[in-house]
Amino acid sequence: MGLLARYARLLPLTAATPAVNLEEGNTPLIPLPRVGERLGVELWGKFEGCNPSGSFKDRGMVLAVAKALEEGARALICASTGNTSASAAAYAAAAGVPCFVLLPAGKVALGKLAQALMYGAAVVAVKGNFDKALELARQAAETLGCAMVNSVNPYRLWGQRTGAWEICESLGEAPDWHAIPVGNAGNISAYWAGYREYLQLGRASKTPRMMGFQAAGAAPLVTNEPCPSPETVATAIRIGNPVSARLARAAVSESGGEFNSVTDEEILAAQRLLAAKGGVFAEPASCAPLAGLLKLKEAGRLPQGIKVVMVLTGSGLKDPDTAMSQVGRPVEAGDSLESLLTVLKPVSQ
């Protein structure tokens, strides 16, 4: 069952809302004991890479597209660091409406670009960063009369609350800490709204501290000023002027949380650790929280024994280039057992 059916009573649906569905949501909350041991906490990863387009963006997109269709939209438009475009293009394809996608030229991970093109979107590479592409998409949406499905669209954030609801249902309670990467700052705001709602509904008895993590080269919420030329290997959070900054600041201060930044080297080390000790391959942006938790642990600022959920926002398969740049090539062997054993022996010893 997709999210619109599963959470029909908590989402703003009407009798006229089309039943858009790619079986999104209901992603696994994966226990990560070997990584958690290192941190001294009970660690869980909400693996959003299991969504149909491979990132959490599907949670909000399903609702945004359904509402756009309900309101008579005949085409969709978005600016994207990659995953929003993959998601918008997927739902547009399933619904049979055209989709225009504006990407920052040369700064989108290969898998995401392949997705948008395969789903049949009209993909435009804009000379400029994401913030510029977003501004242009807004203007084009108005001129062309397309529905804008970026997270400025309020239905996106509403749909993304479902992630918090699922975590509370899986754990039977809200976690102590919620650790999440922050780019345009919509997801942290949506999770906070979702946790508060479950508290009000009596489906959880507390709310977590919201811990937001940014890349050091794109950390406007840490430095408290817009970042004119954001730069990071974690392209999904390469954003200098977050649209939902105000909501995100409120989420952090109301929950007693923090924003912290981590370097690209720390992000990539965390990505390797998560894969090699957790068995979960997540894209670089998704690993900023783990990098940050390791840093807090080192600084003696991570309370021991608490329950921590990290949102692993997208699949590692999205960005094969960054992964391959960090690991060796396969060892080569001939086609005989003898040749194979000369290669395997040093490994098995």
Q: Does residue 291 contact residue 266 with C-beta atoms inside 8 Å?
A: yes
> Could you say which residues in the range 14-53 bind ligand PLP, by CB under 6 A?
none
**Residues whose CB is less than 8 angstroms from the CB of residue 24 and which lie 6 or more positions away in sequence, other chains included:** 2, 3, 51, 52, 58, 59, 61, 62
Work out how close the CB of 332 gets to ligand PLP at its nearest, in angstroms, rounded to a whole number.
34
Work out how close the CB of 60 gets to ligand PLP at its nearest, in angstroms, rounded to a whole number.
9
Q: Which residue, among 215, 317, 310, has the nearest Cα to 268 in the 3D structure?
A: 215
Question: Contacts for 135-142 with beta carbons within 8 Å, 24 or more apart?
Answer: 136/79, 136/102, 137/77, 137/78, 137/79, 137/100, 137/102, 140/77, 140/100, 140/102, 141/77
Window 183-202: contact mask with ligand PLP (x via CB under 6 A)? xxxxx---------------
Q: Quick one: 64 or 285, whose CB is closer to ligand PLP?
A: 285
What is the pairing mode between strands 177-181 and 209-215? parallel
> Could you say which residues in the range 54-83 bind ligand PLP, by CB under 6 A?
55, 57, 83
How many whole angstroms separate alpha carbon 47 and alpha carbon 282? 8
Work out how close the CB of 221 gets to ligand PLP at its nearest, in angstroms, rounded to a whole number.
10
What tokens appear for 253 in the block? 């201060």
236 binds ligand PLP (CB under 6 A): yes
Q: Which residue, among 316, 322, 237, 296, has the nearest Cα to 43 in the 3D structure?
A: 296
Work out how close the CB of 67 gets to ligand PLP at its nearest, in angstroms, rounded to a whole number.
18
Q: Mark the segment that binds ligand PLP (CB under 6 A) among 28-36, 165-173, 180-188, 324-332.
A: 180-188
Work out how close the CB of 153 gets to ligand PLP at its nearest, in angstroms, rounded to a whole number.
12
Interface with ligand PLP (CB under 6 A), residue from 4, 133, 280, 285:
285
Backbone angles phi, psi at 236, to 5 degrees: -70, -20
How far from the centroid of its chain's Cα atoms is residue 145's Cα?
A: 28
Interface with ligand PLP (CB under 6 A), residue from 65, 141, 215, 237:
237
Q: Which residue, among 20, 18, 24, has the nearest Cα to 3 in the 3D structure?
A: 24
Interface with ligand PLP (CB under 6 A), residue from 314, 316, 319, 322:
314
Q: Which H or E run contains 97?
A: none
**Residues whose CB is less than 8 angstroms from the CB of residue 1 and which lie 6 or more positions away in sequence, other chains included:** 23, 26
> Could you say which residues in the range 116-175 bind ligand PLP, by CB under 6 A?
151
Backbone angles phi, psi at 269, to 5 degrees: -65, -40
* Number of amino acids touching ligand PLP (CB under 6 A): 18
Q: Quick one: 68 or 285, whose CB is closer to ligand PLP?
A: 285
Number of helical H runs and strand E runs in the chain: 15, 10
Work out how close the CB of 315 gets to ligand PLP at its nearest, in angstroms, rounded to a whole number.
8
Q: Quick one: 30 or 306, whose CB is closer to ligand PLP?
A: 30
Work out how close the CB of 180 gets to ligand PLP at its nearest, in angstroms, rounded to a whole number.
8
Q: Mark the segment that binds ligand PLP (CB under 6 A) among 25-33, 179-187, 252-260, 261-269.
A: 179-187
89 binds ligand PLP (CB under 6 A): no
217 binds ligand PLP (CB under 6 A): no
Interface with ligand PLP (CB under 6 A), residue from 313, 316, 322, 323:
313
Other beta carbons within 10 angstroms of residue 15's beta carbon come to 5
Residue nearest to ligand PLP (CB): 314
262 binds ligand PLP (CB under 6 A): no
214 binds ligand PLP (CB under 6 A): no
Residues at the contact surface with ligand PLP, assessed by CB under 6 A: 55, 57, 83, 151, 181-187, 236-237, 283, 285-286, 313-314
